A and B are shown apart, each in its own frame.
Chain A
Amino acid sequence: MDIQCELCPRGCLVKPGQSGDCRIRVNIDGKLLAVTYGFPCSMHVDPVEKKPLFHFMPGTKSFSVATVGCTMHCKNCQNWEISQSPPNMVDAYQVSPDQMVQMAKRYECPSISYTYTDPAAYYEYALDCSIKAREAGLKNILVTAGYINRKPFRELCRHTDAATIDVKAMSDKFYRDVCGSTLAPVLDTVVSAREMGLELEVSNLVIPTLNDSDAMLSAFVKWVKENIGKDTPLHFLKFVPYYLMRNLPPTSEETMGRARDIAKAAGMEYVYVGNILNEKWTCTFCPGCGNELVRRHSMVMMENHLNDGKCPMCGKKIYGVWK
């Protein structure tokens, strides 16, 4: 019996013995089974700033996990060795959700990040780990491209505390040509995350000639401001040639500065630039008085002047979870 997968907008019709587009869910005896459940291929202890997540428990470590596979197939994927490989090609650990929580505690991490590939791809595992982590008093963080249906995403959000969602470009053509997916479900995921009360940050990888025009950057900033608010932290990330897009050069510092300027001019309050060593572009400034609140060097927090989540100079409340 064929089964239709309802996890991501692709809606694969999976024949018996076959897998869907993600190569993870296999139709075995009329049931869809995720072959990567309980088998993370990567586990590391990262600073939470690396996700990137600048307004959520800054300066803490996050136990970061991933299994093989992704719901998208971006030609520029930076982790393509694990995101675009079939499960039989990548070695994995065997770790149950309970063991995952124990390991996070062992390394004194107050949170678990579902990252590197995409938690949408290992949804069942991320969900079970999140539930166990919550019970143990740990926070959960999603780092995702947001290509997932609304219903399963909202269920996952119930057990999640913070999310970084990567919006690739404000163009459906870009999503179809570069990522093999569509834009609308991603935007819906971003709105859902905010509605579900997650501490939300949005990132955008700026790729030369593909999504670095003023019009494209302005459209992205305008959409974020109008739909999820000007207090949403924005991260513009520098593109580095990887995987199937090695024909393009890395994004220049000038272009990254231009993206930041466009967002600032549009009224966005917290704008950051990633993958570039420029301290001014990774610090948090008070949108009220301009005072430097959090100083970071690359992905490490150096100073935090916030007073109970407020600016010590003007008292303005700064968006985020600061404890």
Chain B
Amino acid sequence: MKRRDFIKITGLLYAYGMIAKCGAFATVMPRRVIEAVRGRFYPGKIKKLDFKAIGKQGGWLG
């Protein structure tokens, strides 16, 4: 086997391994949980503090 073929096969095996691993992970945990556990737990977007808007009365009831 040539060196070039060896790198190609190893690369393909690694890629298949990664896909299989991610697939197994995805079947155990739903996407939103994967996103939730990644980093800071909150699955939604983080917005910047807007001190002007915060200082005003809220539009929500209660």
Interface residues of A (CB under 8 A from B): 16-19, 26, 28, 33, 35-39, 42-47, 50-51, 64, 66, 68, 78-79, 82, 86-95, 103, 106-107, 115-116, 143
Bound CA–CA A92/B36 (angstroms): 14
Interface residues of B in 38-60 (CB under 8 A from A): 40-49, 51, 53-58, 60
Q: Which of B28, B29, B58 contacts A46 (CB 8 A)?
A: B58
Name the distance in Å between B57's Cβ and chain A's nearest Cβ. 5
Chain A residues with CB under 8 Å of B48's CB are 93
Bound CA–CA A35/B33 (angstroms): 9
> Whose C-beta in chain A lies nearest to the C-beta of B46?
A94
Size range of the chain B interface in the assembly: 20 to 34
Known: A35-B42, A107-B55. A28 touches B62 (CB 8 A): no
Asked if B62 and A92 make an inter-chain contact with CB atoms under 8 angstroms apart, the answer reads no
> Whose C-beta in chain B lies nearest to the C-beta of A116?
B60
Asked if A17 and B30 make an inter-chain contact with CB atoms under 8 angstroms apart, the answer reads yes
Asked if B58 and A116 make an inter-chain contact with CB atoms under 8 angstroms apart, the answer reads yes
23 A-B pairs whose Cβ atoms sit less than 8 Å apart in the complex: A17-B29, A18-B33, A33-B41, A35-B36, A35-B42, A39-B46, A44-B57, A45-B57, A47-B57, A50-B57, A50-B62, A68-B44, A79-B60, A82-B60, A87-B44, A88-B32, A91-B45, A91-B46, A93-B46, A93-B47, A94-B46, A115-B62, A116-B61
Chain A residues with CB under 8 Å of B58's CB are 42, 44, 46, 64, 116
Asked if A90 and B44 make an inter-chain contact with CB atoms under 8 angstroms apart, the answer reads yes
Asked if B40 and A45 make an inter-chain contact with CB atoms under 8 angstroms apart, the answer reads no
Chain A residues with CB under 8 Å of B30's CB are 17-18
Bound CA–CA A64/B58 (angstroms): 8
**Which residue among B33, B36, B54, B56 has the maximum number of chain A CB atoms within 10 Å of its CB?**
B54
Chain A residues with CB under 8 Å of B53's CB are 44
Name the distance in Å between B32's Cβ and chain A's nearest Cβ. 5
Bound CA–CA A89/B40 (angstroms): 16
Chain B residues with CB under 8 Å of A91's CB are 44-47
